[in-house]
Structure 1
């Protein structure tokens, strides 16, 4: 793992530096500081009566401490304060205070060290100025204070500004990264919702196609079997069955054409304007939305509870003994509820034709306060000589349950104690 600022194929910056530029800058500052402190160390050695070489080496060592400013800024400032009586470390003190103020060191520590540096600079300047300048003591104090403030306050203030700006930029960058992650997450969720909507619409279309085709085709098969059985024995009945098969086939084709027409129209949504941005998942939503609207139109124009007698009459015409029991007065229901109730009864009768030919069937419909209940129950299968085995895909009960649960209703199905089968559903009226 390489550090920030690494170049591919090359090693990153050494030690505590983050970028190579920082190494160059600190190296240059350290070299200049070492030269300055070495020069000032030579002057200090002459004044103190020490060998000049010792003063130069001591100054170089002190000035080189500036290389540690990013790692240990407190230590750099303390060294600058310590060598202040020797009148060396001008660059060391200024850069050290700037680095300390711009770092993450607590402000309490920064203020304390800055005050110490200010006091040390003032004392040193006062002592040196008092001995070199013959003037009013008050002028010496003012001059010393001015120099101390000039060498301490600007680097501290500038360091505080740079540190605050850096933290602000880091905060903005972090917030931008967070927003980018949130936008990516929202895009993923939008795509998931679009995929879920597509799946729901496909399932809904499959239910509609199943209900449109399965019931009428099942009756057509039953009538065709009866037609085959009586064609030679009872020509009049055969003609009647043939007419019923034709009528049901035409009705099934009409409903199928309407459904396919809706789907074809929904597959051609109007294109969005070129200047309008398309959100994540928007393409899928643009396709699903007109499809949903088209299916709503199918619900509005679809079958209702008013066609229940005609539906039962078709099963009776196919030879099924069907009894209808209605309780309560019908109210104005939503089109989706009416169609769902109709489809549940329709699919239940289709299952009776498939699995219980010749059985007696009872259809119950109850209009209650706040709900509509329906139940289709058949007795045990008695079998018929003209019966025919009808294929079953196992989707009838699943589709009924999905329809009812989609409206917040309750669906129950299962065998009865008498050997028959019962389908019950309760739909809330909203």
Structure 2
């Protein structure tokens, strides 16, 4: 703080006003009212001095001091009203009484105190008006009815008391309403800011989930297909000179698997490209109208009013891309062909199916396929020559799968395939995302077992069914 700032603070001066005044124009207004009130009371003090048989300067000074009390009306409105009530018998301080009652009624004072002081002012003004009106009637010999003096006194007292009190109550109520609306606007602004942050977090979460899904898909497609291609290429190299026919067959298999891998990658990239186009269109179109779909609710409100609408559009497009990829991806019907491809590499694979097969949700079928695919790929990488048992069980409300291999054949040649260490993690993520259970670990016989149980419906489908 600078020296001048410290001096101003010590003197009670702020950047907005002086002492209890919030703005400088309030200082000017109250000072002007105090000067006018002091002059009025000083003039009325001359008459008071004549009536009370006092020196005129005494009455003038008394009026000046009494009228100047109006300067503190914002700080101590009670004092201003009490002073105006006290000098009412002297027939001075009319302006101070009006302004004081208005300020008191517009303040945050309790209603009972406002009513008590207003009643005291009304009674004091009524008595003075009654006495003065009666004296005027007597002094002028005015022939009036008996009701004339009381009616005039009541009208004068009510006219000097009721209007400032009522107007002050109105201004105070309006001021409190404006403050309430301002606070509500601030709270709404904070709430909208929180909603925007939440929408951005949801969009970031959606992008992270989409990146994770893409990584899983790439891993499943590339790891399995390329692993088979490497195995067949090694076999092709081994039999190229000894058995040309078998070499031709292996070369054809390598080509087929490469084309299948390219096809799956192309389909995946096509879905992602379509999702990006949808997100771009939503971002250009701006916010979506309220009630555009049946899911309008708290989340919809956040997206409609928040500045993160393009991010939310990206999240929705990512979810749509994931759903489209699940529908276009492999399913339960492709597991038998998958087992056949593994057999062609020389693996001993048995397939056992229990229960009656039925259609499942696309996400469930694709997850089941990917679990079996990744388990067979791991056997090919880490347990070459081991016997593999693939079991599928169609149950009432779920589907179970298990891939178990025996101990590795020590005499089998290692294919030399690299391992990223994410196969089991990806399978677990896929299964748990659908509300299933995933277990993996070594067996007592020295092999490895992968087990998964999936519900026959996704959690989203179950929620939709419950709401319907």
TM norm structure 1:
0.94
The answer to whether residue 320 in structure 2 is matched with residue 293 in structure 1 is yes
Could you tell me which residue of structure 1 aligns to residue 15 of structure 2?
11
CA contact (8 A) 1:40 1:87 kept: yes
Counterpart CA distance in 2 for 1:38 and 1:161 is 32
Query: Which residue pairs with 2:180 in the alignment?
Result: 171
Equivalent pair of 1:222/1:387 in contact (CA under 8 Å): no
Summarize the alignment of residues 120-139 of structure 1 with structure 2, pairs less than 5 Å apart.
120-134=124-138, 135=142, 136=144, 137-139=146-148
Give the corresponding residue for 1:378. Answer: 405
Render the CA deviation track for 1:326-380: whole Å, top value 9, x for unaligned: 2111122122211110110000100111111111111111111101000111122
Q: Which residue of 2 aligns with 1:161?
A: 170
C-alpha deviations, 1:233-281, integer Å up to 9, x for none? 3333322222211111111111112222222233223635978546432
C-alpha distance in structure 1 between counterparts of 2:252 and 2:132, whole Å: 126
Distance apart, 1:185 and its partner CA: 1.3
Question: Structure 1 residue 271 and structure 2 residue 281: aligned?
Answer: yes
Which residue matches 1:345?
A: 372
CA-to-partner distance for each residue in 1:206-225, whole Å, 9 max, x for gaps? 21121111101011111112
RMSD: 2.1
Counterpart contact for 1:225–1:387, Cα < 8 Å: no
How many residues of Structure 1 are paired with residues of Structure 2 in the alignment?
425
> Quick check: 1:426 aligned with 2:440?
no
- Asked whether the equivalents of residues 399 and 455 of structure 2 are also in contact (C-alpha less than 8 Å), the reply is yes
In structure 2, C-alpha distance between the alignment counterparts of 1:316 and 1:387, rounded to whole Å:
17
Q: Does the aligned pair in 1 maintain the 2:283–2:313 contact within 8 Å?
A: no
Aligned partner of 2:463 in structure 1 is none
Per the alignment, residue 323 of structure 1 pairs with: 350
| 8 Å Cα contact 1:357/1:384 also seen in 2 | no
Q: How far apart, CA to CA, are the structure 2 residues paired with 1:382 and 1:51?
A: 129
2:257 maps to: 248
Contact 1:347/1:396 (8 A) holds in 2: yes
Q: Distance in 1 between matches of 2:267 and 2:361?
A: 21
Structure 1 counterpart SS, 2:281: coil
Structure 1 gap segments, 5+ residues each: none
Q: How far 1:409 sits from its partner (Å)?
A: 0.5
Deviates more, 1:126-135 or 1:196-205: 126-135
Residue in structure 2 matched with residue 24 of structure 1 by the alignment: 28
Partner secondary structure for residue 114 of structure 2: helix
Equivalent positions of 1:298-313 (< 5 A) are 298-313=325-340
* Equivalent-residue separation in structure 2 for 1:273 and 1:421 (angstroms): 48
Question: Counterparts in 2 of 1:218-229, with a 5 A limit?
Answer: 218-229=227-238
Q: Which residue of 2 aligns with 1:73?
A: 77
CA distance in 1: counterparts of 2:124 and 2:90, whole angstroms: 11
Q: TM-score, normalised by structure 2?
A: 0.86
Which residue in the other structure is 1:192 paired with? Answer: 201
State the distance in 1 between where 2:275 and 2:286 align: 21
